[in-house]
Amino acid sequence: MLIDRIVHGLTAAGEGAASDRSATAGAHDVVFTGTNDEIDRYFHQRGWSDGLPIVPPTKERITAFLQRTPRKPDEEIAVLPTANLRATPWNIAANGVMAGCRPEHMPLLIAVVEALGDEHSGLNMIGSSSGIVPFMLVNGPLAKTLGLESGAQLVNRGTNPVLGRALGFIIRNIAGFRPGANYMGSFGYPLAFAVAENEDESPWEPFHVEHGFAREDSTVTFGVTNNWGPSPAAAATAEVSGAEAVIQLISREIPKKSRLYNFPARGPDAEHAMITVLMSPSVAKTLADAGFTKHSLKQHLYERTLITLRDFAWNLTHVSIMQTTLAERVASGVYPEEFLGAPDDPVRLLSSPDILHIVVCGDPHRNRLMVMEGGHTRPTLRRITTD
């Protein structure tokens, strides 16, 4: 496929006039030579970059990445919608090089592509005009080995920025999501981002252990959010303990989200909702000292997060683009029968504790948390294999 060859073709920096050979190039051929400025302009004009300077993906650089995986260069790792192009170690490496990754990041990049390729990840749905931002979460010993930051300002420190950028390039160039074409966020998108869980400071089991992996495993999770911020602080008072202040804060933050009409859904619609709570270690320790585990906290939030039917119906009417009424969605089994009550009746907003995902990370000296809503997808984990 011509598009496949062009998008994943290689670039070699050289002296003299630029040369474009993409029309006749094979998958492993050099498609362009020129100065760094010419390479940046060439990639940007074709929609392959995010507009920031890239590292030219030369054959030598890609080969260095390929040496970090036993997979063959053209082996199919996944077929990514919506472009339905084959993700291979060769084109995964090319996108990683462009983002500024190092060769040792290659096993992680392959694992996140495997997660993207899982049909349950919902990757084909992220082009929504609501602005869905992809992110990756890294757990296990490899996070430290690769220099990921799990503490203060983690999105912008360590190797987190280049890994987030690599995820964005893979979604752009292999999955085929181009802003303004089929990636339709009305106001654009922040760059995709990467975070690591602060397992040393967390009082609970890590995210990947919750999902059935061993603590010594290293994993990457693909997730999405429709929002980034704000990050409120929970303040205890003479009447309200620190743990209760946190629970009140989270249960107030969740109903503020624009996609809350998905949160109580049952059946297939339940897969269209995910809520990821990032909380600093100090907040997690306050909850743990009050006797909460991750499991019991999610159960407690499930029971405590309420909304009146009047407010929920308003959201369904004014925010949702679906053309069905509240009564029709109850009749079809999407919402439970309690959603047919009186306007001022409070109902549970969450379908299950399982749509809540808790990650301990961020500044250990601040009592901050962030509630991120996601639409059309759910977290998808993969083990990172380094041999």
The answer to whether residue 48 sits within a structural domain is: no
pLDDT at 332: 92
Residue reference for tokens 């109902």: 347
The answer to whether residue 368 sits within a structural domain is: yes
The answer to whether residue 196 sits within a structural domain is: yes
The answer to whether residue 61 sits within a structural domain is: no
Lowest model confidence (mean pLDDT) among 162-166, 181-185, 369-373: 181-185
* Portion of the chain with pLDDT greater than 70, in percent: 92
Query: How many domains are there within the chain?
Result: 1
- Boundaries of domain holding 202: 107-305+349-387
Mean pLDDT for the stretch of residues 84-102: 97
The answer to whether residue 354 sits within a structural domain is: yes
Residue reference for tokens 């500044």: 363
pLDDT band per the 50, 70, 90 thresholds, residue 7: very low
Rounded-to-integer distance, Cα 265 and Cα 25, Å = 49
Contact 118, 210 (CB under 8 A): no
The answer to whether residue 321 sits within a structural domain is: no
Contact 376, 290 (CB under 8 A): no
pLDDT at 377: 79
The answer to whether residue 231 sits within a structural domain is: yes
The answer to whether residue 327 sits within a structural domain is: no
pLDDT at 272: 67
